[in-house]
Structure 1
Amino acid sequence: MKNIPLVRPNAILMLFICAVITLITDNQLFAQEYKIKTIVIDAGHGGKDGSTRGLYSTEKDVALKTALRLGKLIQDNMKDVKVIFTRSDDTFIPLYERIKIANNAKADIFISIHCNDMPVKATRYISGYTKNKKGKKVPVYKTRYAKSTSTRGVETFVSGFGRVDEQDEAIKRENASIFLEDNYKENYDGFNPDDPESAIILSLMKNTFRTQSLKLAKMIQDEYVSVGRVNRGVQEKSLAVLARAGMPAILTEIGFISNPDEENYMNSEEGQAEITNCIYKAILAYKQSVEI
């Protein structure tokens, strides 16, 4: 099915339609008998989309390990819930296919698991001194490229309206996977990561479960905080993997792989158990709160 083009003149109409649908959804969806029967767990990145790494591990591998462990925890303890993985090995899955899997399965929750990372920054420094033709001592400058290794914490995203004057690192990094897809121009017709209006419209297309997504995201963050993790909060971002979700959908960053301590934590047995237990407990609490 060909995606709806993201045409600039339709922005206001799209906003109006989505606002009406959201109001209807908030008032009617959970008024009827409702059970969470299917959860789709998405391990971020994979295959050729796997350049983000720490000192010894990659985001795609940590995300997959966490996703599979979370899925098993749900399957072992929530017998009435079906778990579907967008990937179970080191495979590249296009972003639109990930959410298509959830939509086709009529999933009740979509959870995408990622590791955070800090951008590489250039720092100019004086490496020594030399003398110019006049014999005057002058500094010799070099440039060092490095990431911050001290930034830490957890944050959870939901698909949001974004800010028209903002293109931050989270949006750029997560949406960058689009351009690894062979037919990205067709699959994301009109999408331009540098055009804030495109990001806004993309995030609105299936944003009818915003309230429920925010609720689940907050529950996950609360569980992280309860075990002592640094809380970077719940944020609304124009992330392509969430934009067309027909169910409550979140993307959770379980830690900074650029921070050696958090990389060790995310790869350890203790860390894996704690992270997956936090997400599981949030899912259970969310399930209990929406089921009649």
Structure 2
Amino acid sequence: MMNTIFAMIDNNMRPKLIKNIALIRYIYVILAVLIASGQFSFANSLSDTPYRIKTIVLDAGHGGHDGATKGVFSREKDIALQVTLRLGKAIEENLKDVKVIYTRTSDVFVPLYERIGIANRNKADLFISIHCNSMPIKKVISGYRKDSRGRRIPIYKTVQSTSTKGVETFVSGFGRLDEQDVVMRENESILLEKDYKDNYEGYDPKDPESIILLSLMKNAFREQSIKLASFMQDEYILSGRIDRGVKEQSLAVLAKAGMPAVLTEIGFVSNPEEEEYMNSESGQNEIVGNLLKAIQTYKKQAELE
């Protein structure tokens, strides 16, 4: 199999790829998971055991000292944890054959690589990361003043849009440069991690060799991830939420997933109306209901294939 992979790569690129052993190992893991889980059609034909979704890893975004995003009265990390725990309970009550594993159950910091590592080590069938969206805070010129020499000096103030609302769900991809606000916000916690360069060795969006290898992994579960994300968006829409779509982005928490994986933004904490909704019991119950139905729909289809 490794010879096949190298055959796809130009000879001039091989020296750098050899250095990328950490990333190459992930390809072996993914191929093994694919075959074991029956994702390849030939694997299904060779096995009498039907594919079943047995383990779902739920990831409450951020936590601990990684929790700066907030609204008027609440923080993203707290909302994400509350919804994640509610969703886990709902899955256990409604899908008795499914085991739920959490990346965190309290306000603690968990590195991004460890979150997906938990899913990979437990051979999870699905990885779902729950977050709240937020519009970026920007500096704008609010006026001018004159200094002692009579020169005009700009006066700045910080502003944040509070009107933007809606839900969107991400799968691992590279995206466009004009859609990077979410990427920057969700990936910035990497800088909080000690030895982050070692932990994310091989994940370099600017390196052609890394992109090729990473693409091999992403494509293995791309279709299934998009399907799950689409089911989630469909359920949100049925509840009257504003649809911001399914998007592919370079999110570190999804980059090395050995299973279908999504990151869903359940609303804008920077929008007062949605902040109130996401903190209310009725709002959280509706969000959990949306996600549970999406998982049930995906599970039913995946187990019939």
* Aligned mate of 2:72, from 48, 52, 55: 55
Give the letter aligned to residue 237 of structure 1: Q
1:181 alignment partner AA = E
Give the structure-1-normalised TM-score.
0.84
Once the two structures are TM-superposed, the CA of residue 42 in structure 1 deviates from its matched residue by 0.2
Equivalent-residue separation in structure 2 for 1:198 and 1:262 (angstroms): 41
Q: In 1, are the aligned partners of 2:145 and 2:155 still within 8 Å (CA)?
A: no
**SS of match in other structure, 1:45:** coil
Contact 2:130 2:264 survives alignment (8 Å)? yes
2:115 equivalent to 1:98: yes
- Equivalent in 156, 160, 163 of residue 150 of structure 1: 163
SS state at 1:264 partner: helix
**Cα RMSD after superposing both structures:** 3.2
Could you tell me how far 1:54 is from its partner in structure 2?
A: 0.7
Deviations along 1:36-94, one digit per CA (max 9) or x if unpaired, are: 11100000000111111111111110000000000000011111110000000011011
Secondary structure (helix, strand or coil) at the match of 1:57 reads: coil
Query: Equivalent of 1:286, from 263, 282, 298?
Result: 298
- Range moving further from structure 2, 97-106 or 24-33: 24-33
1:206 to 184, 208, 217: 217
> What amino acid does structure 1 have at the position aligned with 2:171?
V
Percent identity of the aligned residues? Answer: 53
Provide the residue aligned with 1:64 in structure 2: 81
Normalized per residue, the structure richer in helix is 2
Mapped pair 1:126 → 2:143: yes
**Equivalent position SS for 1:182:** coil
State the distance in 2 between where 1:171 and 1:109 align: 21
Residue from 261, 264, 267 that aligns with 2:273: 261
Letter in 1 for 2:168: E
Deviations 1:155-214 (A, max 9, x none): 000001434x55711111111111111110111125457x37588458536311110000
- Structure 2-normalised TM-score? 0.81
Equivalent residues of 1:30, 1:290 under 8 A apart: no
5+ long unaligned stretches in structure 2: 1-11
Q: CA deviation at 1:126?
A: 3.0
| Letter in structure 2 aligned against 1:96 | Y
Query: Could you report, residue by residue, the CA deviation over 1:248-289 in whole angstroms, capped at 9, with x for unpaired residues?
Result: 100000000111111100000111011010000000000011
Contact 1:120 1:147 in 2 (8 A): yes
Give secondary structure in 2 for the equivalent of 1:209. helix
Between 1:24-33 and 1:170-179, the stretch displaced more is 24-33
Q: Secondary structure at the match of 2:110?
A: coil
Cα 1:29/1:144, change in 2 over 3 Å: farther
- Is contact 1:38–1:82 with CA below 8 Å preserved after alignment? yes
Which residue of structure 2 lines up, in the alignment, with residue 45 of structure 1? 62
DSSP 3-state at the match of 1:42: strand
